[in-house]
Chain A
Amino acid sequence: MKVYKWINENIYGSIPVTKTEFDLINTKAFQRLRNIKQLGLAHLVFPTADHSRFSHSLGVMHIIGRMAAHLRNKYQIFNTKEVDKLRIAGLLHDIGHYPLSHVGEKVYQLLTKKEAIITKKRKGNKNEENILHIASTELKQEDVNHEKLGKYVILNREEIKKILERDDFDPNEIAKIINGEHINLAYDQLIHSGLDADRLDYLLRDTTQTGAKYGLVDLDYIIRMLSVGRDENDNVWIGIDKRAIHSIEHFLLARYFSYSQVTWHRTIRGFEIMATALFYEMAKRGMVYDSFEQLKRIVDTDNWINFNDNYFYQKISEFSNRINNELCNILLFNLNNRRRAKLIYEEKDFRNGKAKSHSYAALENLIYKKRDEILKIANEHNIPEDFIFNQELSLKIDKIPSSTLLDITDENKKETIMVIDKGKIFPISSLPSSIIHPLSERSLYCLRLYVVDLFIGKTLEESNNLFDSFISDFKRLYDNELKFLKEKLP
Chain B
Amino acid sequence: MDEKVIELKLCLDKLGGFRMDDFKERIALQKKIYLMQLSGLDLGYRFNWYIRGPYSPSLADVAFDAWNNKDLLDEICLEYELNQEASEHIDKIKDLIESKCPLEDDLEHYKWLELLASVHYLKHVAYLTDVNKENKNDLCQKIKSLKPFFTLEQIEVAWDTLNKWGLIKNKTLKT
Q: Mark B63-85, 1 if CB is under 8 A from A, else 0.
A: 01101111110011001111101
Q: State in angstroms the CA–CA spacing of A115 and B44 once bound together.
A: 12
Whether B44 lies near A139 (C-beta < 8 A) is yes
Residues of B within 8 A of A114 (CB): 42
Residues of B within 8 A of A137 (CB): 2-4
Q: Which residue of A lies closest to B61 (CB)?
A: A399
Whether B44 lies near A109 (C-beta < 8 A) is yes
Please provide the chain B residues from 1 to 46 with a CB less than 8 Å away from any CB of chain A in the complex. Answer: 1-4, 6-7, 10-11, 22-23, 26-27, 30, 41-46
A300 at the interface (CB under 8 A from B): no
Whether B59 lies near A368 (C-beta < 8 A) is no
Residues of A within 8 A of B75 (CB): 369
Q: State in angstroms the CA–CA spacing of A176 and B48 once bound together.
A: 10
Q: Which residue of A lies closest to B49 (CB)?
A: A183
Whether A415 lies near B1 (C-beta < 8 A) is no
Q: State in angstroms the CA–CA spacing of A272 and B70 once bound together.
A: 29
Task: Tally the A-B contacts, defined by beta carbons under 8 Å.
Answer: 144
Kindly provide the distance from the CB of A316 to the nearest chain B CB, expressed in whole angstroms: 26
Whether B50 lies near A411 (C-beta < 8 A) is yes
A13 at the interface (CB under 8 A from B): no
Q: State in angstroms the CA–CA spacing of A145 and B48 once bound together.
A: 14
Whether B44 lies near A116 (C-beta < 8 A) is no
Kindly provide the distance from the CB of B39 to the nearest chain A CB, expressed in whole angstroms: 12
A294 at the interface (CB under 8 A from B): no
Residues of B within 8 A of A185 (CB): 49-51
Q: How many residues of B contact A (CB 8 A)?
A: 58
Q: Which of A91-99, A119-127, A208-216, A258-266 contacts B (4 or more CB under 8 A)?
A: A119-127
Whether A354 lies near B48 (C-beta < 8 A) is no
Residues of A within 8 A of B149 (CB): 233
Residues of B within 8 A of A392 (CB): 1-2
Whether B55 lies near A411 (C-beta < 8 A) is yes
Q: Which residue of B lies closest to A354 (CB)?
A: B68
A364 at the interface (CB under 8 A from B): yes
Cross-interface CB contact of A143 among B22, B42, B60, B127, cutoff 8 Å = B42
Please provide the chain A residues from 161 to 184 with a CB less than 8 Å away from any CB of chain B in the complex. Answer: 170, 172-173, 176-177, 179-183
Whether A409 lies near B52 (C-beta < 8 A) is yes
Whether B41 lies near A411 (C-beta < 8 A) is no
A407 at the interface (CB under 8 A from B): yes
Cross-interface CB contact of B83 among A118, A172, A188, cutoff 8 Å = A118
Residues of B within 8 A of A394 (CB): 65
Q: Which residue of A lies closest to B53 (CB)?
A: A411
Residues of A within 8 A of B55 (CB): 411, 414
Q: Which residue of A lies closest to B126 (CB)?
A: A183
Q: Which residue of A lies closest to B8 (CB)?
A: A140
Cross-interface CB contact of A138 among B2, B23, B64, cutoff 8 Å = B2
Residues of B within 8 A of A469 (CB): none
Q: If A109-B44, A185-B50 touch, does A354 touch B71 (CB 8 Å cutoff)?
A: yes
Q: State in angstroms the CA–CA spacing of A202 and B69 once bound together.
A: 31
Please provide the chain A residues from 105 to 156 with a CB less than 8 Å away from any CB of chain B in the complex. Answer: 109, 112-122, 137-143, 145, 148
Cross-interface CB contact of A121 among B64, B80, B126, B127, cutoff 8 Å = B80
Whether A183 lies near B79 (C-beta < 8 A) is no
Residues of A within 8 A of B52 (CB): 409, 411
Q: If A118-B3, A118-B7, A411-B52 touch, does A140 touch B23 (CB 8 Å cutoff)?
A: no
Q: If A117-B86, A140-B45 touch, does A173 touch B127 (CB 8 Å cutoff)?
A: yes
Residues of A within 8 A of B125 (CB): 181
Residues of A within 8 A of B60 (CB): 399-400, 412, 415
Q: If A354-B68, A412-B26 touch, does A116 touch B3 (CB 8 Å cutoff)?
A: yes
Cross-interface CB contact of A140 among B11, B44, B67, B80, cutoff 8 Å = B44
Residues of A within 8 A of B44 (CB): 109, 112-113, 139-143
Kindly provide the distance from the CB of B48 to the nearest chain A CB, expressed in whole angstroms: 3
B122 at the interface (CB under 8 A from A): yes
Q: Mark B149-166, 1 if CB is under 8 A from A, else 0.
A: 100000000000000000
Q: State in angstroms the CA–CA spacing of A409 and B1 once bound together.
A: 31
Residues of A within 8 A of B86 (CB): 117-118
A353 at the interface (CB under 8 A from B): yes
Residues of B within 8 A of A353 (CB): 67-68
A326 at the interface (CB under 8 A from B): no
- With most chain A CB atoms within 10 A of its CB, the pick from B11, B64, B72, B86 is B64
Kindly provide the distance from the CB of B13 to the nearest chain A CB, expressed in whole angstroms: 11
Residues of B within 8 A of A113 (CB): 44
Q: State in angstroms the CA–CA spacing of A192 and B75 once bound together.
A: 35
Whether A173 lies near B129 (C-beta < 8 A) is yes
Residues of B within 8 A of A48 (CB): none
A430 at the interface (CB under 8 A from B): no
Kindly provide the distance from the CB of A134 to the nearest chain B CB, expressed in whole angstroms: 10
Whether B76 lies near A404 (C-beta < 8 A) is no
Kindly provide the distance from the CB of A416 to the nearest chain B CB, expressed in whole angstroms: 11
Whether B57 lies near A415 (C-beta < 8 A) is yes
Q: A113-B44, A139-B44 provided; 7 other pairs, C-beta below 8 A?
A: A117-B11, A118-B82, A139-B2, A140-B62, A404-B26, A411-B27, A412-B60
A–B Cβ pairs within 8 angstroms, 6 of them:
A118-B81, A137-B2, A172-B127, A182-B126, A185-B51, A411-B50
- Chain B: residues with CB nearer than 8 A to chain A? 1-4, 6-7, 10-11, 22-23, 26-27, 30, 41-46, 48-52, 55-62, 64-65, 67-72, 75-76, 79-83, 85-86, 122, 125-129, 146, 148-149
In the A-B complex, list the 5 residue pairs whose CB atoms are closest, starting with the nearest.
A180-B48, A176-B127, A141-B44, A410-B23, A142-B46
